[in-house]
Structure 1
Amino acid sequence: MSIWNRTLAWLAAGTALAATLQAPAAAAPAPVWSKCGDGLECAKLTVPVDWRRPGGRKTQVDTARMPAHDPARKLGSIVVNTGGGATIQPVRSMPAVVSELTTWFDVVLIDPRGFGDQGSDALVECPVPQPGIDGLVLAPGEAGWRAHAAANAAYDASCRKAMGPAYAGLTSWQVAHDLEALRVALGEPKLRYLGNSYGTVYGQAYLELFPAKVGRMVLDGIPDHAQPSLERWLMAYARTQEQQLTRFRDWCAAGCALGGDDAIEVFDDLLARVRRAPLPAGGQTVNEQAFLVAVTEGLTPPAWPRLATALRRALDGDATDLAELRPLPPERPGHTQGAMLCHDFMPDPPGYRDFLAVESRLRAAAPRIGWVQGRYQVGRCVGMGGDPAYPPHPLRAEGAPPVLAAIGDTDGNTPHLGAEHLAAQLPLARVVRHGDGHAAYLMQGAAGLTGTCLRKHVHDYLTAGTLPPSGARCPGDLVARIPRG
């Protein structure tokens, strides 16, 4: 079944179930909070594995609360999901990413299905890790494709076994219902929510399922779940990544390890060299595929100084620094985020031959480096099972209030072209553009940048409902701090 046909089937089934979607959360009990270290209070939320069958099997979701500084003057609760898998453990290690919000709110953290606090029964470990995201780039032929698909399948099977019956609830559709259950349990009349990165996918699902229950919602670093065409979704990644090379060149022009050399000309020169022969890298070599992976990884703004240095040294005959830009090896044990992503975005991945046809068009549109994103993204899901599924579809959220969408010019993780497409699905959405990359709100907080343009817009909206003016733009406060040495 194609992604489009699967989407139509899912929407038809969803329409038939619409009358039952909101009722099950009504009986959610208030959380029983208990101190759990690091200034947090923790509680379990018991929810159905499948919200379509609220009387069926149950599972648990971990939540944690960072209490407001002044409980007598707080404005209520704000629910936060930081994306990328776990929320509670990362906030434990870096509380500054959200702690400023306790000026006004109880900050309630929620982990998605399969994740949980350290030592929690809710935390699922998949014995087989997911293969590296660069697998289809490093082994570009059909044999490499089959091997990568087999590795993905083994990872998926291990997650299914480790999670047991709860695996059937591993979609953002289910997590959106968990958010609604949490809202009811907190006693909040409307959901106030800040979603970062993958947390915005849960927010998108909530907007569609419970538009009348949305209070104020901030989405930052937005993957586009409203694009049913896989090729168009990949094209947004490819074009954005190609632009990222230009942004790196422009940043480098003001001073970097490349001196006065144009970064794109350096890229072209090294790519031509590595196509003739691998570059020496200490006791190993860097071939064309490894070179493309290294540059792809180095185009994330915090890595720009490393990329500039690596390119400079490769020009001088030593590609060791380029080799060290490769992604980290897969985590052991694995976690369930990769499975949920595929259920949400690519439950029906293309076959090898079909993908090559798409890739030819990605290469035409983004010929230097952007086309590599096609293999990065598809490589996440080839070989994965298709059920459960919550495939991409146009977002319909009639009656939802204005949402604040933060979109970063230098965000190659969730490309701005896709985020713009998603925001356009919400007629009342207000966009604030900024010059920083992925997870800008959280990363500015972690860096101690509490008074930035972006954070002021977010806080004005969350506390008073004040939206930024149309066309609002903030500078790249994090990019400005990137060292050039």
Structure 2
Amino acid sequence: MRILSGALAVLASGTMMVTAPQASAQALEIAPHTPAPVALNWADCGDGMECSKLTVPIDWKRQDGPKTQVDLARLPARDPARRLGSLVVNTGGGATIQPVRSMPSVVSELTSWFDVVLIDPRGMGDRGSASLVECEAPPPGLTRLILRPGEKDWHTHARANAAYDASCHEAMGAAYTGLTSWQVAHDLEALRAALGEPKLRYFGNSYGTVYGQAYLESFPTRVGRMVLDGVADHTRASMERWLLDNALTEERQLGRFRDWCATGCALGGDDAIEVFDELLARARRTPLPAGVRTVDEREFLVSVREGLAPPAWPTLAAALRKAADGDATDLARLLPPAHEGRGYTSGPLLCHDFMPRVPGYRSFLSIESRLRAAAPRIGWIQGRYQVARCLGMGEGPSYPPHPLRAKGVPPVLVSIGDTDDNTPNLAAEHMAAQLPGVRVVRHGDGHAAYLMQSASGLGATCLRRHVHDYLTAGTLPSVGARCPGDLVARIPRG
């Protein structure tokens, strides 16, 4: 997962998924009745927060069975006299509470009107919390299958992922069986009841949008106002079609980088795609010199992919310029590490939701050939990047993608970024089209736009005004509303 900036990197992680071809039997079931509200015991926990724990069943279909706990944190409304109620927030990418501790400005303005209640998904939690489960084995790097495309390396990666998954299962124990967004949606409903709110008011970013989609299906009559930003589409039943959304979005992102660079960047007056094509052709003939090492064709593609998130555009432009002049050292520095770092249970959760089964090596090669035909420059490598997340994961609970069934829900506000290739904007459009009465705001920024605009101190931007007007007064933007790229406009040209 690409770094966005500072602590917000955590918000963006774990959002690129692969889909499975089956509909979920679990999703088709009628949701259990909301449990009787329980009291939440809030206590000061530093950084202006009050913390509590929500005790929930491991499996909401067996409410009398074993229990687990979910971490909560509350940032109280600044002015109780103006308080409009509680707003539940999940920032996606694993934990929510710890990233907000590091950068409270991502949600602080919302406390002008609401008690902002942060909820961590199962297996994640606040610092020092028993709810935070760390897996002993780290996940293998997601670019490994791109850099090493052979069948032997495919199976090596699968074994490394299996060890990671097994260590998460061992660390989490019986609670591992509750790792799906269907269960998390029911945790959200229990939280709504515990807060005493008649309807759920929810802001979901990135993977938090998956929990939102599950809630819309399971509790349509309990939906109040819901904002989904940086949508991870859980509605594609076809794995290949979902991968195609990823591939096409990434291919277009290269064009957006070129357009940004055309008005001034380290490449001078050179067309960025022409520079890309020339360097790729060179790397195919012989690896590019990079100091004491070289950069081959696949390493070149991975490096460029790592630089296509908008905040990294200046770095990518400078690296391409240097490589075109004969030194690919800076491109080599863009290559990610061999491992993804510390292992948490967000990996198995993602795979249970999006890909409980992975195609075999030969079957995937057929899919990859079609991705390459559709997105021949760089988008096609997204197939291996996504499959690498779940290849080798053991069987577990599952909540596979399926068309969204959310009849009777009130209008939902969906934010879609033109330069969001983290949760592909093509996939977000596909999800939004299935929501009755949905109102979409398009904007020129990338992933986690609302949170990152808030953290950047941009003030009352177009996107933030739409979100605040909707959450506070239910005011919807006009059909076809579009906002500028306020963050992209501030990217230094280098």
TM-score, normalised via structure 1 length: 0.97
Is 1:209 paired with 2:218? yes
Is 1:90 paired with 2:93? no
Query: What's 2:15 paired with?
Result: none
- Name the amino acid aligned to 1:424: A
- Name the amino acid aligned to 2:246: Y
1:231 to 227, 240, 249: 240
1:457 to 463, 466, 476: 466
Structure 1 residues 461 and 234: CA distance shift in structure 2, 3 A: same
Query: What's 2:414 paired with?
Result: 405
Is 1:471 paired with 2:471? no
Name structure 1 gaps, 5 residues minimum.
none
CA drift at 1:427:
2.0
Which aligned runs of 4 or more in structure 1 are off by greater than 4 angstroms?
A: none
Is 1:219 paired with 2:228? yes
CA drift at 1:263:
0.4
Query: What's 2:78 paired with?
Result: 69
SS in 2 for 1:45: strand
- Give the CA RMSD over aligned residues: 1.1
SS in 2 for 1:60: strand
1-structure distance, mates of 2:433, 2:284: 41
Q: Does the CA contact (< 8 Å) of 2:134 and 2:344 recur in 1?
A: yes
Is 1:122 paired with 2:131? yes
Is 1:383 paired with 2:392? yes
Q: Does the CA contact (< 8 Å) of 1:30 and 1:187 recur in 2?
A: no
2-structure distance, mates of 1:247, 1:413: 14
2-structure distance, mates of 1:274, 1:329: 21
Q: Does the CA contact (< 8 Å) of 1:35 and 1:41 recur in 2?
A: yes
TM-score, normalised via structure 2 length: 0.95
1-structure distance, mates of 2:163, 2:410: 43
2-structure distance, mates of 1:480, 1:104: 29
Query: What's 2:360 paired with?
Result: 351
CA drift at 1:332:
4.2
1:137 to 142, 146, 169: 146
Is 1:293 paired with 2:298? no
Is 1:106 paired with 2:118? no
1-structure distance, mates of 2:372, 2:342: 35
Structure 1 residues 49 and 100: CA distance shift in structure 2, 3 A: same
SS in 1 for 2:414: strand
- Name the amino acid aligned to 2:96: T
Q: Does the CA contact (< 8 Å) of 2:142 and 2:340 recur in 1?
A: no
Is 1:447 paired with 2:456? yes
2-structure distance, mates of 1:214, 1:329: 42
1-structure distance, mates of 2:335, 2:488: 22
CA drift at 1:144:
1.3
1-structure distance, mates of 2:125, 2:231: 23
Q: Does the CA contact (< 8 Å) of 2:141 and 2:340 recur in 1?
A: no
1:162 to 152, 159, 171: 171
Tell me the alpha carbon deviations over residues 81-128 of structure 1, each in whole angstroms, 9 at most, x when there is no partner. Answer: 000000000000000000000000000000001100000000000011
**How many corresponding residue pairs?**
476
- Superposed, which structure 2 residues align to 1:236-255 within 5 Å? 236-255=245-264
Q: Does the CA contact (< 8 Å) of 2:27 and 2:399 recur in 1?
A: no
Q: Does the CA contact (< 8 Å) of 2:52 and 2:72 recur in 1?
A: yes
1:374 to 379, 383, 397: 383
**191-200 or 279-288, which deviates more:** 279-288
Q: Does the CA contact (< 8 Å) of 1:342 and 1:384 recur in 2?
A: yes
- Identical pairs, percent: 72
1-structure distance, mates of 2:82, 2:101: 25
Q: Does the CA contact (< 8 Å) of 1:216 and 1:401 recur in 2?
A: yes
SS in 2 for 1:239: helix
Query: What's 2:347 paired with?
Result: 338
Name structure 2 gaps, 5 residues minimum.
1-18
CA drift at 1:147:
0.8
- Name the amino acid aligned to 1:49: I
Is 1:259 paired with 2:276? no
CA drift at 1:328:
4.3
- Name the amino acid aligned to 1:385: G
Query: What's 1:324 paired with?
Result: 333
CA drift at 1:450:
2.5
Query: What's 2:314 paired with?
Result: 305
Q: Does the CA contact (< 8 Å) of 1:22 and 1:210 recur in 2?
A: no
Q: Does the CA contact (< 8 Å) of 2:255 and 2:273 recur in 1?
A: yes
Query: What's 2:447 paired with?
Result: 438
